[in-house]
Structure 1
Amino acid sequence: MTTLPVPAATTAAGPRPDLEFTVHHRPAPQGSKRHVGGGRLLEQSKRVKPWRDAVDTAARAARVVNHIGDVPVHKPTLDGPLSLEVVFTVRKPASAPKRRVTWPTTRDSGDIDKLLRSTFDALTTAGAIADDSRIVEVSARKVHPGEGLDALETPGAVIRVWRLLEAVAR
């Protein structure tokens, strides 16, 4: 008997994300680390920490469902098998054509797997997901500002997370 993942929550229009938010900041890939002595490793890119902080802040804000006085009440941390969709809006190079849509394939736009790595870690530190090992399905793409579905007008990302339930294949 084979089991297939299916979204836990659905609407008439289709699966409804359990968490959805937008990050307005330049996406940064989490790449290699460099050894600085004494067993310490530092991130090579100075852009990673600000990106992770921006994702963390946006995820925490998206999780707030109510307030008791000044204390925010958050949605629970998503656990179990998760599906994630991310659309990264990256800067369009000055050399790219201005009047037509182009794909972000330059080195400056970042490797999509490394963009995902920094984003996954930020979702975990924000308490949005229990651990990035829970992500079993990913859809990710890079677009330039204003060019394509879910493209923002400035660099950033649209992030959606679904909890998956097990379903029996027929």
Structure 2
Amino acid sequence: MTTTALPGRIGIRVYGTPITQGSKTANRFGGGVRDDNAKTLKPWRNHVEAVAKDTCRYHETITGPVRIWVRFTFDRPREHYGTGRNSEVIKERFLHAQPTYKKDIDKLQRAVFDALTAAAVWADDGLVVDVRARKFYAHGHELALDEAGVDIVIEEIA
């Protein structure tokens, strides 16, 4: 966990594999709807919420408009690496690969935003008026983390 405190700006770093919010499915036995990936989503959201609460423990809950940057980093698939003595070396053709598989960036954002709301970082994620979200593989871009996780920067707009 890393914290950055600049006037009107909060930085939060959460390590772990980012999980999408998922789609809602009706409960077959009544009782409303649930996320179709609840078994993996709930621990991720709880982790983001806990780190956010700890990071923001000295901050008031934000009640005005915010700008947010989120950078998701994913572990590289095994096929991106060589074999044998090159098992830690990224193959040339994968050096600049982008994580374009099924992790929808909007669903990744939703999971993080809901966790930040639960942590009382802001009153509601409807306060977000400007967002920049990006996805990277670890060790593939200067903005990527060295391992899976998410960097979050929240800036209050006057």
TM-score, scaled to structure 1: 0.76
Q: Take 1:94 and 1:58, find their aligned partners in 2: how far apart are those partners?
A: 29
Q: Quote the residue 1:104 is aligned against.
A: 99
Runs (4 or more) in structure 1 with deviation over 4 Å come to none
Aligned-pair CA distance for 1:16: 5.6
Change (3 A) 1:16 1:87: farther
Q: Any gaps of 5 or more consecutive residues in structure 2?
A: 1-5, 82-89
> Are residue 23 (structure 1) and residue 7 (structure 2) matched?
no
> Percent sequence identity over matched residues?
34
Count of aligned residue pairs for this structure pair: 140
RMSD, aligned CA: 1.6
In structure 2, distance between residues paired with 1:34 and 1:58: 28
SS in structure 2 of the partner of residue 153 of structure 1: coil
Higher helix share: 2
Distance 1:77 1:149, change over 3 A: farther
What is the letter of the counterpart of residue 132 of structure 2? S
Q: Specify the SS of the correspondent of 1:42.
A: strand
CA contact (8 A) 1:17 1:160 kept: no
Amino acid at match of 1:142: K
1:89-133 Cα distance to aligned partner (Å, 9 max, x none): 0122223362312111122xx000000010000000001111000
**Structure 2: how far apart are the matches of 1:160 and 1:29?**
19
Decide which of 58, 61, 66 is 1:82's aligned counterpart.
66
Aligned partner of 2:156 in structure 1 is: 163
Q: Supply the distance in 2 between the matched residues of 1:84 and 1:17 (Cα, whole angstroms).
A: 12
Pick from 126, 129, 138 the counterpart of residue 136 of structure 1: 129
The TM-score with structure 2 as length reference comes to 0.82
